[in-house]
Amino acid sequence: MPSQIDRCNCPLCAHPESRAVEQLSGEELRKLWRAVGRDFSAAAWGKIAPEYIIEPCQCERCGFEFFEPSLAGNEAFYKELEHAEYFVENRPEFGRTLRLARRLGLRRVLDVGCGSGIFLDLARQAGCETWGLELNGAAAEKARAKGHQVFSELLDGLKPGVKGFDLITLFQVLEHVPEPVPLLRQAAARLGPGGLISVAVPSANGVLRLVPWDPHQWPPHHLTRWRLQDFEQSARAAQLTLIESGGDRLLGSEITHFWKVHNQLAPVLGKPGRLGGPAVLEALSIFYRKTGMKFLLPRWGSSIYAYFRRT
């Protein structure tokens, strides 16, 4: 099978050279998904056959990690993946972005990848006019039923007149797409004067390091892995100005959750789990919470965020 490293340029800086940092077979990935209670049809797997080797590549120039673009999840995959807990009710980026919108007077909001409209509900309660974009038909209908105007096309497929937004949000979206820089450019083209793009993605340097074999962080689900410095490169590539970036606080409950998930998944691949039983883990979590360490340590939570303005 040809190496993806010979075929894929870095999606941020376009450098042609990268190196593989890990690998999983399609069969191993299937076992990991089954371990977390999900199973997918052959149609949902696309080109990832059981014998297919999946390798995250790290750019030799900027250090960005990415997968082969053609491994992106298709409609069947996301339809089969959707479940009650898939669209999170309350993420840190929701309140943080709405506080910024109130401060700057941003009222016309387009949420790309709006799901069932959870963030749009909050934006409307904050006095914003709401639009969404969602390719999952069932989720889009749920958002429309709540009174939001929802588009079912790709961002670059919207009519030319659909623009002038004060705020365009891309929450947990960029990691799913093969080409994040063009998507940022397309969002910028839909902004009105003084408009902002708000982005949140999983943090490759945060608590997710505890679960390297979490199938959610691999194709067909995720295609890229983001660090704070990657926002600077993406801003340059998309001709945007990076206004602010940062990370979510690490919660004790996240440490407990992802520690347990790793110990659930590691044996599937014949790898060792992390030391310490439930009692040790609970004691560690309580110590972390009671001592206020979340206010002292770097922001190693599960997500990082950025705000961009058109240059």
d(C-alpha 82, C-alpha 68), whole Å: 23
Predicted local distance difference test score (pLDDT) of residue 288: 72
Per-residue pLDDT tens for 208-223?
A: 999 999 999 999 999 9
Q: Tell me the three state secondary structure of residue 178.
A: coil
Cβ proximity of 26 and 52 under 8 Å: yes
Domains of the chain, each with CATH number or no CATH? 4-81 (no CATH), 92-251+298-310 (3.40.50.150)
Per-residue pLDDT tens for 120-155?
A: 999 999 999 999 999 988 889 999 999 999 999 999
Report CA dihedral (54, 273, 216, 45) to the nearest 10 degrees: 50
Structure confidence at residue 3 as a pLDDT band (50, 70, 90): very low
User: Per-residue b/e over 22-60, b at no fewer than 16 CB within 10 Å?
Assistant: eebbbebbbbbbebeeeebeeebbbebeeebebbbbbbe
The pair of structure tokens assigned to 141 is 């209908």
d(C-alpha 46, C-alpha 29), whole Å: 13
Say if residue 191's pLDDT is above 70.
yes
What residue type is assigned to position 67 of the chain? F
Q: Considering only 73-77, 161-165, 292-296, which range has the smallest mean pLDDT?
A: 292-296
| Contact partners, residue 305, CB within 8 Å, separation at least 6 | 92, 93, 96, 198, 199, 200, 201, 245, 246, 247, 248
Q: Tell me the three state secondary structure of residue 240.
A: strand
Say if residue 293's pLDDT is above 90.
no
The pair of structure tokens assigned to 75 is 């409609």
